[in-house]
Structure 1
Amino acid sequence: MRKSRIFTVATAVAMAITALAGCGQSTQGGVSDDTLTLATASPLGSFDPVKFDVGPGKPYWQAVYDTLLRQDANRNVIPGMASAFGYDSAHTTLTLDLRKDLRFSDGAAFDANAAKANLARFTSTPGPNSATGEAITGIDAVRPDQLVLHLSAPDPALLPNLASALGTMVSPDALSKGGFDQVPVGSGPYLYDSAGSQPGTTVFRRNSAYPDGSQYPFDRLELVAISDPNTIRNGLTTGRLDAGSFVATDASKLQAAGLSTVQVANAWNGLILADRAGTIQPALGKPEVRQAINMVVDRDLFRTLAPGNPPATTQIFAPGSGAYDEQLNAAYPHDVTKAKELMARAGYPGGFAVTMPDMTSFTGSPALNTALDMQLGAIGITVTWEKVPPTQLLTSMTSGRFPMFFMSLGMKSPWEDLQLSVLPAAAWNPFHVSEPELAALISAAQHAEPGTAQDAAFRAVNRQLVQSAWFAPIFGAETVWASVAGVKIERQERGYPDLVRFQRAGS
C-alpha cells in the first residue's frame, strides 16, 4: 500500500488553521521579554467550566482560572486554592482547607461559600464535563476556610478532576450575573484581553494580584489557533511563534531546525467497537467478532503510516499508569487465519456490513479508510464510509449512530479513562453497555485502597477489557512539543502540557 500520513483525530472538531498575522512579535531566535506566543490546535471555546476543552484548549482557561487542586509534572495531585486536603477512611468524605489570600479579578473573595456555589452549579449543569462530579452528593461550607465534599461512593478520579474543570473557580458574583462563558472572571495568573484579541488569536495580560505569579514568567500570553504543522514550524523558525505541538513531524527534524523538543504520550488510536450489545449490528455483540477484528488489524502496518512510528498497543490506558500491562500488547498478534476461525465460531463466516464515519477530512488522507477496508475485508467485513459534517461528527459518534468507528482518545489516570469511555454513562460508551464481570472488576478497583492494591485492581479491569475486546486499539500517540531558544517546556507525564509548564529557558 502507498505510504501516507495518518493525522491524529483531534478531540475538538473545529480546528482552525489561521494566518499568523496576529501572532506576537517575538524576535527571531528567542522569546521576547514579556510575551509567550503559543500555538494550539484548538480555537477559543467556552470559558464555562462545564464546557471546557480539557485537551488542547486547556491554556485558554488555565490562563484566567485557578483550581482547588493542581497537578505537578508527574501528575501527582498537589495543593491549589486548597492548601490541604484529605479523605476519611472510607474515601467518601473529602475535606479541603482553603487558602485565605485569594481574590477574584472582580474583587470578590474566595472562600468556602464561593467554592460551594461553583461545585453546586457544576454538578447540576449538563455539559461534556459534568460527569466528573457525579459522585458528589453533598457540599458543606463548614467554615469560611474549609469545604467538605460527601460522595456516594469512592471516586478515584475526584482529586485530579478537582485539578481540572470540576475544581475551576469562577467569581461567585459572575456566577450570579452570567456571561462568564464569554468574559471570564477568575483568580488565575492572567486576565482576558477581549479588546486586544481577534479571531484566531486570543490575548491575555498578567494578573498582578495573582499571589503565585512567579510560576508564570511571561507578562503577556497569546494563544494562536493553528493546526497545520508546517505553519507552526514556519512560525517557530521565523520567530513569530514561541512554542507549538506537532503530530506529523518527528523530534529529530525539529531539533535539526534548532528547536528544543519534548515528547508526551497523550492518546491511543484505534477502533471503538461501541455496539457491544449488538443493538444495531448484532455481529458486534459477539466477543469472538470483536476479538477477530483485533486479530486482523495489522498494528505494525499502521505504525508505519502514523507520524513518528508510534508504539503499537492493544490497551486504552497510558504507559506508566497503574492499569497498564505491557504483556497485554501481545494479546492479539496479526493472524488472519485465526481471525477467520473466530468469525466462523461466532456465526459470521462470511462477515457482515457496517457503516462507519468517514474521517478523511481529519486524517488528511484516505489512507486510513483504505487500510481498514483491506484489513477488515480480509474477514468479510464490508465498510460503507458515511460523510458527516465536521460540526456533527463527535455528536454522531457519541449518540449511538455508528456501531463502530475510528477515534483518538486521550489518556489520563485509569479512573478518568474509565469515566471517558467505559462506564455506562461514559461519553464514548454510546450504547451504555455494561457487562456483569467487568462491572464487578470496576467496582473492586473503585473501592480498593489507593496504591498497589488499586493498581492491581485496575490491571484486572484492563485485562477484562482486552479479553472481551471492547476496543481495538492500534497505536499510541505522542505529541511532540517544540520551542524556540529562551523557552523551556517542562516534560509532563501524559496529556497536553499545563500552561505552567512553559517556562523561560534556564529558569
Structure 2
Amino acid sequence: MNLSKRIGAGLVALALAGSALTGATPALAANKTDLVLGSLIDVKSWDPSQADIGHMAPLYQAVYDNLILRTPDGKYKPNLATSWKLNADNTEMTLKLRTGVKFTDGASFDATVAKANLDNFIKGNGPQAGTLTGATVAVVDATTITIKLVDPNPELAYYLSTTDSYMASPKALGTAGLKTTPVGSGPYIFDAAASSAGSQEVFTANPNYWDKSKIKFKKVTFKVMSDVTARLNALLSGQIDATLLDTKTSETAKSRKMTQYLNNVDWQGILIFDRAGKINPALKNVKVRQAIAHAINRPALLKALQNGQGELTNQVFAKSSPAYDAALDKTYPFDIKKAKQLLTEGNATGGFDLTMPAWPDPTMNAVLGDQLKAVGINVTWTQVPAADYRNALKTGKYAAGLFQLFQGTPWVAINQMATPNGSWNVLKSTDPVIDRALNSLKDDASEKNLNAQAKVINRFLTESAWYIPFYRVPQLFFAGARVKTANQAQNAIPYLYSYAPTGK
C-alpha cells in the first residue's frame, strides 16, 4: 500500500475509532497548561554524557540545565553560567556560575558540581564526547571554573549550550540509576511512574525552579512515535500538540489549519564511514565512492521522497556558509556510464555488495537500491527499528548509511564531519589534506583562516566522497491551535524553551 493510501486509511480509522493511541487523553481536552509532543525518538540513557543534538535536545532540556542557553536565532544567553570569556587563542574559557541553584533532590549547584559534570562528559563515550576531547576543567573558586582545551575552539559556547554541559545532581552523577531516572536542576521533574521507555516520557513543572519564565506548562509529555502517519493522525485528533511531519503528510496538516514552521536545516544523503575499507574493501578506493555519487539520480530521488521539495546538492555545507562553493554542486551529475567506468578504475569491475541499515521510509530503500543496482552495486538493507536508527549508524558496524545532517557553522560542521573525533566521523578517518587544514586552524583560528580552511575541507569531502549528499531537505514542523513555538537555528526541531500556550 502506498503512503497516500495509508494516510487516507489511517484518517478513516481515526474518525471511526476516535483515538489512534490506546489510553491517550487528547491534548485539546486536557488542561491547556499541558504540552504533548510527538517525538521521533526516545532517550537511550539519561546520563548527560550521552546527550545528543537534534531530536534529543528537548528531552534533555526538560530536566537538565546547560551552562549557556542558545536562543532560537542562535545567540547565547546566561543560564547556569552568568558570564563566560574565551582567551585570545580560543583555548581556555572562564565561566562565572549562578548561585542559589538547587537540584530537585536538594543538592546545591556550584563550581565543584559543574566540574564533576563536565569531567563526566569528557570521560564518557557519548555521541558528542569528541567535542571536548582532552579538555581539563579546574575549579577557581565556588562560583568560577575554567575549561582548558587541547586545540583552539572559537565556538566552545555552542557546544556548552547544546550537549556538553547538561548538569545532573552530584548525588545521581555516576550512579546506574541516572541512566533511567534523570535528576537535574531543570524546569521540569521526571515522572517515572507515568513514563515508559520507548513509549512516552513525562515531566511535571519544578516548583522550585530558579527561572520561572521557562516554565510555560504544568506538565510536558513526549510521545515516542516513529511513524509519520501516526504522528499526523495524532496531531489532527489533538492527541499531540506539535510534531515533525514530511512533504507527504504536510499538505493534510496545512489543510486542517495546523501551523507550519518551515526550517531548512539538513542535507540528506549517504555517509560513507569506511573510507579505509576495513568493513567493505571496495570503499577504500576513492573512485568507487565517486562512482556511487555518479550513480545517484538526485532529481528522481527528490521527486519520489520529497515531492520535489528541496534543493539538489553535492556538498555538505549550506549556501549561507563561507565554505560553500557553487561549482562543487556540479561535481557528480547523474551518469551511469561514468559510474561504471569509475568502478572499473577502482578495481570493482561489475560492482560490489553493500550493506546499509534500511531507511525508515521504504520508498527511499526501493528507489536508491534500484539506482545503485543499475551500476552493479547490490544493496542489502538491514532492518533497524526507526527509534534505534541513529544509534545503529554510530555503532561502527556499517560501512555506510543514509542520514540527514544539519548544516552547522564552519567550525561546527568541520568538527562534526571531518575531525578524527567528529561525531559523524564514526570510524575516525584521517587524511593529510584534513590534517593540514586542522593544523592550520590550531595555529590560526581567526575567522578569515577558519573560512579559508573550511573551503579546503569542503572541497576535499566532496571530491573524496566521504559524504554523498542528495539534496537539502525542508524540516516541516507543525503545531496545533493551542501552542506556538519558534524554529531553532541549526536544529531540526524547536527547543523546549520555545513552546508557549496560545490561550486558545
Question: What TM-score, normalized by structure 1, do the two folds share?
Answer: 0.86
Runs (5+) with no aligned partner, structure 2 = 5-18
Contact 1:45 1:52 (C-alpha < 8 Å) held by counterparts:
no
Could you tell me how far apart the structure 2 residues matched to 1:92 and 1:83 are?
20
Could you tell me how far apart the structure 2 residues matched to 1:346 and 1:355 are?
15
Could you tell me how far apart the structure 2 residues matched to 1:417 and 1:45 are?
25
Corresponding residue for 1:154?
152
Corresponding residue for 1:505?
502
Q: 1:44 to 1:472 in 2, by over 3 A?
A: closer
Point out the more displaced range, 494-503 or 263-272. 263-272
Shift of residue 477, structure 1, vs aligned partner:
2.7
Shift of residue 346, structure 1, vs aligned partner:
3.9
Equivalences for residues 91-240 of structure 1 within 5 A = 91-136=90-135, 138-175=136-173, 179-198=177-196, 200-240=199-239
Which among 385, 403, 410 is matched to residue 380 of structure 2?
385
Shift of residue 399, structure 1, vs aligned partner:
5.0
Shift of residue 286, structure 1, vs aligned partner:
2.8
Contact 1:67 1:162 (C-alpha < 8 Å) held by counterparts:
yes
Contact 1:259 1:482 (C-alpha < 8 Å) held by counterparts:
yes
Give the AA of the match of 1:86. K
Is 1:474 equivalent to 2:470 in the alignment?
A: yes
Instruction: After superposition, give the CA deviation of every residue in 1:213-233 in whole Å (9 maximum; x if it has no partner).
Output: 213311211111112223222
Could you tell me how far apart the structure 2 residues matched to 1:4 and 1:36 are?
29
Corresponding residue for 2:11?
none
Corresponding residue for 1:27?
28
* Identity within the alignment, %: 28
Question: What TM-score, normalized by structure 2, do the two folds share?
Answer: 0.87
Corresponding residue for 1:440?
436
Give the AA of the match of 2:497. V
Contact 2:356 2:399 (C-alpha < 8 Å) held by counterparts:
no
Q: 1:106 to 1:323 in 2, by over 3 A?
A: farther
Secondary structure of the residue aligned to 2:380 is: strand
Corresponding residue for 1:376?
372
Corresponding residue for 1:330?
330
Secondary structure of the residue aligned to 1:241 is: coil
CA RMSD of aligned residues (A): 2.9
Shift of residue 167, structure 1, vs aligned partner:
0.6
Secondary structure of the residue aligned to 1:58 is: helix
Could you tell me how far apart the structure 2 residues matched to 1:23 and 1:321 are?
44
Contact 1:292 1:343 (C-alpha < 8 Å) held by counterparts:
yes
Contact 1:358 1:369 (C-alpha < 8 Å) held by counterparts:
no
Runs (5+) with no aligned partner, structure 1 = 6-17
Corresponding residue for 2:7?
none
Secondary structure of the residue aligned to 1:460 is: helix
Q: 1:178 to 1:395 in 2, by over 3 A?
A: closer
Instruction: After superposition, give the CA deviation of every residue in 1:337-393 in whole Å (9 maximum; x if it has no partner).
Output: 343444444455x33312212516x22x2x4344334333443x3314153554986
Corresponding residue for 2:258?
259
Secondary structure of the residue aligned to 1:187 is: coil
Contact 1:135 1:152 (C-alpha < 8 Å) held by counterparts:
yes
Contact 1:23 1:37 (C-alpha < 8 Å) held by counterparts:
no
Secondary structure of the residue aligned to 2:172 is: helix
Instruction: After superposition, give the CA deviation of every residue in 1:407-442 in whole Å (9 maximum; x if it has no partner).
Output: 333444444433443322345434432110122123
Is 1:417 equivalent to 2:413 in the alignment?
A: yes
Corresponding residue for 1:408?
404
Corresponding residue for 1:15?
none
Contact 1:52 1:165 (C-alpha < 8 Å) held by counterparts:
yes
Point out the more displaced range, 454-463 or 418-427. 418-427
Contact 1:268 1:475 (C-alpha < 8 Å) held by counterparts:
yes
